[in-house]
Amino acid sequence: MEEFIKVRHEKLKRLRKEKIEPYPHRYKITYKTREILGKYKKLKIGEEVRGSQVSLAGRIMSKRGHGKSGFAHIMDGSGKIQVYTKFDVVGEKKYGLYKKLDIGDFIGVEGRIFKTKTGEITVLVEDFTLLAKSLRPLPEKWHGLKDVEIRFRQRYIDLIMNPEVKETFLRRSRITSLIRKFLDKKDFLEIETPMMQPIPGGAAATPFVTHHKALHRDLYLRIAPELYLKRLIVGGMERVYEINRNFRNEGISTRHNPEFTMLELYQAYADYEDLMELTTELIAEIAKEVLGTLKIEYQGKKIDLKTPWKRLTLKSAIKKYTKLDIDKTKNIKKEAKKLGLKIEEDLADTQVIDHIFKEFVEPRLIQPMFITDYPRELSPLAKAKKNNPNLAERFELFIGTLELANAYSELNDPILQRERLKEQLALRWAGSEDAHMMDEDFLRALEYGMPPCAGLGIGIDRLVMLLTDSPSIRDVILFPHMKPEKQQ
């Protein structure tokens, strides 16, 4: 490695000696590579376009020398194009400089367009300028970069070498942009609420703690924006959404990153049924826009996003996939053990049900499926069903076995909400560290009156996984969490 870098540094020194600035300030570009390739697609072999002067810039990705001429490919943000540099055209001095250029260097190129006899649209270089000298070697051109650790730690190399990785992140950007357009069209207002919260609320999860020096107090990175968004509903903002990071101090897996992006939205005067419709419409529209079809494939599984999507209650889903009828079961733990699950004795029945669901139902939910009617105890911020106070008006959406969304009709009775948070407090005292905390200001807000409303959360990372056919959440997060690298 040192050998490679030493050689490049020597080249850099030589450039400076020859008064060639290796890091100039700007370069005027008239075309992107993709524009050129599109515009001159119909050129005939060998044909040269008169008056086709272009200037473009990019990184040198390959070089093929032939003595007094040479081909190279340069890559810009839109793609790659071949450039052809000839001794006759650029002159002796420039050609000498060209030969010293390295793969990885940025150059600006002026020239005219022609098609080679092998049929590739190429820029005949009339002049070029070094725009940035590269001092480190890039990975090999053919096999590229595969080492997952380098791909994640040095994502910039991954983006240079692997076009499909770049494509994934372009699509991610497109998806969030489309979500915003969709919601803006429906009169939702994009807002921002605190990332640092004195009381972390809105979810059952362990928070990260930080400290504010001037205030002499601990603050928590938010685990959800829910309680702040509801305050805005109280304040009269009837449709609000936020797309931003949540932080949860939990394990890392192919579906979990400690910080992840969540769309959370609240709609006044609506219930969870309305949000099922909204969710369906949103995801179907985005899939159609991004992939051009509702028939998609995720990890080898064919998925049809044609609406409407199916619904099952939690109980009937468990019955369907395990033949277990929860209502007729006296000892749920015993039944779970019979199914082969390891169940600890101190688990609550609702948690056992959750385990059964995760183990036997979730892996089967490949086609879009809304699971509804969750136990009320698991949803302390949700409104109960009219005909059954033990169930919450809540749904989760699964596609391709990914849990993508969670929504409920929001509890807006301040008295009931206080009771439920007290229950959570009791759970905390009993040792459940991630039970919800009491938030007096939130309750005070509800006491002023919150209109009926429903709230929805969509895991953006997982949605992007689905729509980019990515097996791991790390594939859709530019800089996934890693332990610090050893200092060299």
For the record, the structure tokens of 296 come out as 């998609």
For 113-125, b/e burial (b = at least 16 CB within 10 A) is: bbbeeeeebbbbb
Size of the site for RNA (CB under 7 A): 77
Give the span between the Cα atoms of 46 and 371, in whole angstroms: 62
Minimum separation from the CB atom of position 339 to RNA (A): 12
Give the span between the Cα atoms of 202 and 255, in whole angstroms: 20
Beta-ladder partners of 433: none
Q: Which is nearer to RNA, 146 or 334 (CB)?
A: 146
Q: Which is nearer to RNA, 137 or 198 (CB)?
A: 137
354 binding RNA? (CB under 7 A): yes
Give the span between the Cα atoms of 363 and 356, in whole angstroms: 11
**Residue among 28, 44, 118, 187 that touches RNA (CB under 7 A):** 118
Between residue 149 and residue 168, which ones bind RNA under the rule CB under 7 A? 149-150, 152
Between residue 11 and residue 70, which ones bind RNA under the rule CB under 7 A? 46, 62-69
Between residue 172 and residue 231, which ones bind RNA under the rule CB under 7 A? 203-205
Between residue 417 and residue 446, which ones bind RNA under the rule CB under 7 A? 432, 434
Terminal alpha carbon distance of the chain: 13
Q: Which is nearer to RNA, 142 or 429 (CB)?
A: 142
Minimum separation from the CB atom of position 275 to RNA (A): 14
Segment contacting RNA (CB under 7 A): 285-293, 414-422, 438-446, 478-486?
Answer: 478-486
Give the span between the Cα atoms of 309 and 372, in whole angstroms: 13
300 binding RNA? (CB under 7 A): no
Minimum separation from the CB atom of position 402 to RNA (A): 11
Q: Which is nearer to RNA, 62 or 129 (CB)?
A: 62
Q: Which is nearer to RNA, 145 or 234 (CB)?
A: 145
Minimum separation from the CB atom of position 150 to RNA (A): 6
Beta-ladder partners of 371: 312, 396
Return all residues near 93 (Cβ < 8 A) that are at least 6 apart: none
Segment contacting RNA (CB under 7 A): 284-292, 300-308, 348-356, 423-431?
Answer: 348-356
Q: Which is nearer to RNA, 448 or 479 (CB)?
A: 479
Give the span between the Cα atoms of 193 and 204, in whole angstroms: 19
Q: Which is nearer to RNA, 114 or 309 (CB)?
A: 114
Residue where the block lists tokens 């990885």: 104
Q: Which is nearer to RNA, 274 or 362 (CB)?
A: 362
Binding mask 362-401 for RNA (x = CB under 7 A): ------------x---x-----------------x-----
122 binding RNA? (CB under 7 A): yes
Minimum separation from the CB atom of position 269 to RNA (A): 24
Write the DSSP symbol of residue 411: P
Q: Which is nearer to RNA, 62 or 313 (CB)?
A: 62
Between residue 245 and residue 274, which ones bind RNA under the rule CB under 7 A? 248, 250-254, 256
Can you list the positions of beta strands (E) in 152-199?
Answer: 189-190, 196-197
Between residue 401 and residue 420, which ones bind RNA under the rule CB under 7 A? 403, 406
Give the span between the Cα atoms of 201 and 424, in whole angstroms: 11
What's the half-sphere exposure (Cβ side, CA atoms, 13 Å) at 415?
Answer: 0
For the record, the structure tokens of 442 come out as 């939130």
Give the span between the Cα atoms of 240 and 226, in whole angstroms: 11
**Concatenated DSSP letters of 345-366:** TT--HHHHHHHHIIIIIGGG--
